[in-house]
Chain A
C-alpha cells in the first residue's frame, strides 16, 4: 500500500483509457459542446424537439463540410482565406456552365469540381513556389475570387445572380444528391448531413490511419524536419488545398441545387467561421496539432449556439454579441481542458 514516489508511477495510476482520452485534442470541444447543449436545453424549450435537431444539424453540416478540409489544412500548418467565396464560385460555375451551354446539370457539376480543384491546386502551387505565407497567398485568391464571382457572373449572365436551372435535365438527380432530405420519425435530415459525416469519416481515417496523415502532422509541426526525413512537403500541402476545393464543391452544389439561383456576392466572411470551427475543435492556429472530429464538434457548437439563441427567443439586437461570447467561452474552455490534459497528473 506504499504510495508511488516517481512521477512516472503517478501517471501509471490513471486508467489507460482515461489517459488516452485526456490527450485527445477534441476533448475540450466535446466538453464545450456539451456545455452549450446544456445551456440551450435549459434556456429554450423548443431546442430539445426532434424537428429542432434537424435544423441544428443542417446549420452545423454546412459549416462542418468545410471545417473538415480546413482543419486538415490547419493541422498541416496553413490557412485558406479563400474557402468562403470558393463555395460561391463552385455554385456559380456549375450553374453558369449548365445554363450557358444548355447542358445537363451534371456537366456543370463536373466542370465545377474541376474548377474548385484547380483553384485549390493554384493555392498550393503558389504556396510551394513562392514560399509566401498562406495567409497572403489565399488572401490574394480570396480577393480575386470575390471579384471574379461578380465580374464573370455579370459578364456571362448580364445580371449579378445566376438564372434558374430548375427546369433543366439532370436537376432532379443533382438535387437528390446534394439537397434532398430524409424524414426519420419527424427528424428531417438533409443531404448535407450525410456529406458531412462521410467527409468526417474519410478525413479522420486519412489523418489517423494513413501515411499521408502522418505527413500532415509532420509538415504542420516542423516543415524543415519533415523534409529532412523525406516527406514531400509542397505536395502534401497542395493535396490539402485540393481537399478544401472538394469541400467547397460539395457545399457549393448544395447551395445551387437547394436555392436554384445563386447571388454572386455571397460567401464572404464564412472562411473565418470555418477556421473558428477548426480552432474550437482543437486545431492549433500554428499547425501540427488537432483533429478532424474536433472540427465537427466546433461546427456543432456553431450550429447549436446560432440556432439556440433563436430557440431561446433572446433579444435579437444582441444576437451577434451572444454568438461571440458563446464562441469565446467555448474556445476558452477548450484551451483550459487541453492545458490540463497536457500538464498531466499532479
Chain B
C-alpha cells in the first residue's frame, strides 16, 4: 500500500529561504505601490489643535462590524475633528446590540464630556442613554436611528435617513429608465439595508427584486449575483448597498456576460473607477466622513458655545447622487479613505 515516505530533505527550508531572498532582491515593482503613494503625497502639514478650549473627552460607540471601510471613514472624520478641536477621542464598536449598550455604559463610566452613538436597533439603547443624560453627558446620535434620537434625549441627529436615501436611488433609477432592478442585500436582517431596498423599490417604477448574499465571502457573493443574472434575463440593473459589494457586483456582471448597469450606495476606489469608465451608473453617498466630523465638531460647539446646528432638528449628510461627472474630482479623496 505505502509506496512513498514523507520526509522533507534537510536542505528544504534553507533552499526556500534563499529562494525567497533572491526573489525579494530582484522583486521591486517599478509601478504602483507605496513608493508611488509617497511620491504623490506632498507631506501634508501635520498641525496641532486649532483651538484653546480645555481638553475634553468624547467617545463614539457604533454598531459597526469589524473591518468595514464605511465606518473607517466615519472614524477618520471624527478623529480629524477631534485633533482640530483639542479633544481626546475614544472609539469603540460592536455589531451586537447588547455589547454596544455595554460599550456606551463603559464610556459613561469613564466620565466622558460628550457621547456619539448610533441607534441601529433603537429601543435597546433607551435605558443607557437615559443614564448618560442623568450623568449630564451631552449625546448626539449619528448615522442611524433618527426616529429615536430626540425621544432618547439626544441633542440632535446627524446622518442619512436610509429610507429617503433609498427613495433618492429609486428616483434616479426611474429617471434612467431602468426596467428591472436587482437590489443586493449583503447582511440579511440588517434594518438599514432593508430600508434602502424598500425605499428604492417605492420610487423605481419598474420591476424590483431583492437578493441576499454573504457579505463576508466575496467569491460566494459574486457567484450568487451572477447566478441570479443568469437565471433572470430581464434584470437590467444591479443595485448594491456598499462600496466593496459594488466591486463584487461588477465582477459578477462580467461573469454572467450580461450588459447590466450597476448602481450603488456608498463609495470606494472601484466605485469611483467604475463611475469614470461608465460601468457604474451612479452612487448614492451619505458622506460618512461628515457624520464623524460633524458629530465631534457639534459636541465641541455645544460645549464651548451652547450652539446646536439646525436648532436640534436632524442634520442630513445625504443622500448625494454622484455620477460620471464627479468621478475625477472624487478619486483623490477616496484614495485617502475620507470619501
Contact = CB atoms under 8 A, between A and B. Distances in A.
Interface of A: 44, 46, 49, 51-52, 54-56, 58-59, 62, 98-107, 110-111, 114, 146, 149-150, 153-154, 158-161, 163-170, 188, 192, 209-215, 239, 254-255, 258-261, 263-270, 303, 306-307, 310-313, 316, 319-320
Contacts of A306: 220, 223-224
Nearest to A161: B69
Contacts of B279: none
B256 A51 contact: yes
Contacts of B34: 99-102
A332 to B, nearest CB: 24
A299 to B, nearest CB: 12
25 contacts: A44-B231, A51-B256, A58-B219, A59-B220, A59-B227, A98-B29, A101-B34, A102-B28, A103-B28, A104-B28, A150-B67, A163-B269, A170-B27, A210-B2, A210-B3, A210-B6, A211-B5, A239-B6, A259-B248, A261-B244, A265-B68, A266-B216, A306-B223, A311-B230, A311-B231
Interface in B204-239: 209-212, 216-220, 222-224, 226-228, 230-232
Contacts of A264: 66-67
Nearest to B214: A269
A188 B255 contact: yes
Of B216, B223, B228, B248, most A-chain CB atoms within 10 Å: B223
B24 interface: yes
Contacts of A164: 269-270
A258 B251 contact: yes
B23 to A, nearest CB: 6
A165 B68 CA distance: 19
A62 B67 contact: no
A96 to B, nearest CB: 9
A259 B217 CA distance: 12
Given A168-B32, A239-B6, A311-B227, 14 more contacts: A62-B217, A99-B32, A102-B29, A102-B34, A114-B16, A169-B30, A258-B251, A261-B247, A261-B269, A261-B270, A263-B67, A264-B66, A312-B231, A313-B231
B177 interface: no
Contacts of B1: 209, 214
A211 B33 contact: no
B72 interface: yes
B31 interface: yes
Given A214-B1, A261-B269, A266 B67 contact: yes
B37 interface: yes
Interface in B31-79: 31-37, 65-69, 71-72
